[in-house]
Chain A
Amino acid sequence: MLKPMKGLLALTISTVAMLTTSAQAEELRILTWGGYAPQEVIDQFEQETGITVKVTKSNNEDMISKLRATRGAGYDLVQPSQDRIVGAQKEYRIYKPVDLSKLDAGQFIPSMLSATKANTTINGDVYGVPHIWGTSGLITDTAGSKSSYSFNDLCSDDYKGKVSYRLKRPTLIGFAFAMGEDPFAAYNDQKKYAEILGKVEQKLINCKANVKAYWEGGDALLNLLRSGEVTLAMGWDAGGWKLHKETTSINFVPPESGALGWIDTFALPAKGKNDEAAYQWINFVMQPEIAAKITEAAGNFTASAGAEEFVNEQLSNSYKISYNQSSLDNIKWYPPVPAGLEIIEGKTLDRIKAAQ
Chain B
Amino acid sequence: MTGRKLSFYLLLMPLLLTLTLLILLPQLDMLGISMRERVSYGVYEFSLLHYREFFTEPLYWNTFLRTAVMSILATALTLLISFPVAWYIAKIAQGKNKNLMFLACLIPFWVSELVRTYGWMILLRESGVVSGFLQWIGVVDAPVEMLYNDITVMTGLVYASMLFMVVPLVSTLEGMDDSLVEAAYDLGGNHFTVLRTVIIPYAVPGIVSGCIVVFMLTLGNYLTPTLLGGKDSLWFTEQIFTQFITRFNWEQGAAFGVLLLCLSSLIVWLGLKLSKQSFKQALASET
Which of B7, B148, B242, B248 has a CB less than 8 Å from the CB of A68? B248
Q: Which of B195-239 contact A (CB under 8 A)?
A: 230-232, 234, 239
Please name all residues of chain A whose beta carbon is closer than 8 Å to the beta carbon of B127 when the two chains form the complex. Answer: 227-229
Q: Which of A263-314 contact B (CB under 8 A)?
A: none
Determine the residue in chain A with the shortest Cβ distance to B230: A213
Which of A65, A90, A211, A339 has a CB less than 8 Å from the CB of B244? A65
Determine the residue in chain B with the shortest Cβ distance to A91: B41
Does B42 lie at the interface of the complex (its beta carbon under 8 Å from any beta carbon of A)? yes
CB distance from B107 to the nearest CB of A (A): 26
B248 x A91 contact (CB < 8 A):
yes
B247 x A213 contact (CB < 8 A):
no
Does B27 lie at the interface of the complex (its beta carbon under 8 Å from any beta carbon of A)? no
Please name all residues of chain B whose beta carbon is closer than 8 Å to the beta carbon of A339 when the two chains form the complex. Answer: 41
Determine the residue in chain B with the shortest Cβ distance to A229: B126
Please name all residues of chain B whose beta carbon is closer than 8 Å to the beta carbon of A91 when the two chains form the complex. Answer: 41-42, 248
Determine the residue in chain A with the shortest Cβ distance to B53: A347
Q: A346-B242, A354-B62 given as contacts; is B231 within 8 A of A64 (CB)? A: no
Please name all residues of chain B whose beta carbon is closer than 8 Å to the beta carbon of A62 when the two chains form the complex. Answer: 245
Please name all residues of chain B whose beta carbon is closer than 8 Å to the beta carbon of A90 when the two chains form the complex. Answer: 41-42
Does A199 lie at the interface of the complex (its beta carbon under 8 Å from any beta carbon of B)? no
Does A29 lie at the interface of the complex (its beta carbon under 8 Å from any beta carbon of B)? no
Does B125 lie at the interface of the complex (its beta carbon under 8 Å from any beta carbon of A)? yes
Which of A212, A227, A343, A354 has a CB less than 8 Å from the CB of B234? A354
Q: A64-B248, A93-B42 given as contacts; is B243 within 8 A of A351 (CB)? A: no
CB distance from A76 to the nearest CB of B (A): 22
B231 x A353 contact (CB < 8 A):
yes
Please name all residues of chain B whose beta carbon is closer than 8 Å to the beta carbon of A65 when the two chains form the complex. Answer: 244-245, 248
Please name all residues of chain B whose beta carbon is closer than 8 Å to the beta carbon of A61 when the two chains form the complex. Answer: 245-246, 248
Contact with B along A92-111 (1 / 0, CB 8 A): 11000000000000000000
Please name all residues of chain A whose beta carbon is closer than 8 Å to the beta carbon of B41 when the two chains form the complex. Answer: 90-91, 339
CA distance in complex: A214, B226 (Å):
10
Contact with B along A313-356 (1 / 0, CB 8 A): 00000000000000000000000000100110011011101101
Q: Which of A50-69 contact B (CB under 8 A)?
A: 61-62, 64-65, 68
B246 x A214 contact (CB < 8 A):
no
CB distance from A217 to the nearest CB of B (A): 11
From A93, A346, A350, name the one whose CB has the most chain B CB atoms within 10 angstroms.
Answer: A350
Interface size of B in residues (CB-CB distance below 8 Å): 29
Please name all residues of chain B whose beta carbon is closer than 8 Å to the beta carbon of A343 when the two chains form the complex. Answer: 247, 249
CA distance in complex: A67, B20 (Å):
25
CA distance in complex: A167, B239 (Å):
13
Contact with B along A200-220 (1 / 0, CB 8 A): 000000001001111000000
Contact with B along A35-63 (1 / 0, CB 8 A): 00000000000000000000000000110
CB distance from A266 to the nearest CB of B (A): 21
B234 x A1 contact (CB < 8 A):
no
Contact with A along B126-137 (1 / 0, CB 8 A): 110000000000
A214 x B62 contact (CB < 8 A):
no
Please name all residues of chain B whose beta carbon is closer than 8 Å to the beta carbon of A160 when the two chains form the complex. Answer: none
A214 x B245 contact (CB < 8 A):
no
Q: Which of B144-182 contact A (CB under 8 A)?
A: 145, 147-148
CB distance from B56 to the nearest CB of A (A): 12
Please name all residues of chain B whose beta carbon is closer than 8 Å to the beta carbon of A353 when the two chains form the complex. Answer: 231-232, 234
Please name all residues of chain B whose beta carbon is closer than 8 Å to the beta carbon of A214 when the two chains form the complex. Answer: 230-231
A227 x B126 contact (CB < 8 A):
yes
CA distance in complex: A58, B9 (Å):
43
Does B59 lie at the interface of the complex (its beta carbon under 8 Å from any beta carbon of A)? yes
Does A242 lie at the interface of the complex (its beta carbon under 8 Å from any beta carbon of B)? no
CB distance from B237 to the nearest CB of A (A): 14
8 nearest CB pairs, A to B: A227-B127, A346-B247, A61-B246, A213-B230, A90-B41, A229-B126, A65-B245, A214-B231
Which B residues form the contact surface with A (CB < 8 A)?
Answer: 7, 10, 41-42, 57, 59-60, 62-63, 125-127, 145, 147-148, 230-232, 234, 239, 242-250
Which A residues form the contact surface with B (CB < 8 A)?
Answer: 1, 5, 61-62, 64-65, 68, 88, 90-93, 167-168, 208, 211-214, 227-229, 339, 342-343, 346-347, 349-351, 353-354, 356
19 A-B pairs with CB atoms under 8 Å apart are: A61-B245, A68-B248, A168-B246, A212-B148, A213-B230, A227-B127, A229-B127, A229-B145, A339-B41, A342-B247, A342-B249, A343-B249, A346-B246, A347-B57, A347-B59, A350-B242, A351-B59, A354-B59, A354-B63
Given contacts A61-B246, A227-B125, A229-B145, 6 further A-B contacts (CB under 8 A): A61-B245, A212-B231, A229-B125, A339-B41, A347-B59, A353-B232
